[in-house]
Amino acid sequence: MKETVLEEGLTQLQLNGVDKEDAAKQLHRYIAEIELFNPAYGLVKVRDRQELIVKHILDSLAPYNQIKAILQRIHNSSNNIADAGSGAGLPGIPLAICMPDVTFTLVERMGRRAGFLRNVQAALSLSNMEVQESDIDNAELSGRFDIIVSRAFRPLSNELYKHQVRMLSHGGIIAAYKGRKDAIDEEMLALLKTVGEAERPAIASWDAIPVTVPFLNDERHLLVIRQ
């Protein structure tokens, strides 16, 4: 791959309404921050910059158009998205860069990583982003969000599902980045077996939307659970 893998990837993703040049500049700054702090903080496991771009940055942006479409269908005026277990800010920061009209709350329980997220927020002047240093189970954010995104996060247990539902506004959506469809089917089957009858109709309304990550052959889906 060429050094311009980020710009080529953004072109392939065809992000509706995004200025590709401006986004690329901000994303390169973000990548530099990850590379600077990664040796000390262990933010991501990558061999080089190209792997970081493909497996983390472009992967975070792959369902951008689907997430934008969900926001438009919800028709809430707030446009608030939470990134549950944000870690290095993935997918929250790439999405916040490309969605300046949406407010992102990055929920991260580890203090050093939360500090890294605040540093990135300041370095990139991301006024549409805030950091909540908390475990998702204890976050006092009830009823605030139109969408909760998560990536490389723990499987959706009954307890985790209830905590995320509590954080959603009326008609809100859970949108989890996942891999293979068969693994998603197993995860959702296990979840449906553990929830009560009252929650089951809501959880039954779910889809696994295929997404394509430029330069990556691995299977990727966005698991969308509607309330």
Instruction: State pLDDT tens for residues 42-84.
Output: 999 999 999 999 999 999 999 999 999 999 988 666 799 999 9
Once rounded to an integer, what is the mean pLDDT over residues 18-29?
A: 97
Phi and psi torsions of 174, nearest 5°: -95, 130
| Residue ranges of domains in the chain, CATH in brackets | 16-226 (3.40.50.150)
Evaluate whether 179 touches 205 at the Cβ level (below 8 Å): no
What is the CB-side half-sphere exposure of residue 21 using CA atoms within 13 A? Answer: 0
Report whether the peptide linkage leading into residue 94 is cis, meaning its omega lies within 30 degrees of zero.
Answer: no
CA 49 to chain centre: 20
* Predicted model pTM: 0.94
Quick one: pLDDT at residue 1?
A: 46
Quick one: pLDDT at residue 155?
A: 85
d(CA 57, CA 62): 9
Residue 200 has pLDDT above 90, yes or no: no
d(CA 21, CA 41): 29
Quick one: pLDDT at residue 78?
A: 76
Mean pLDDT of the chain: 92
Residue 152 has pLDDT above 90, yes or no: no
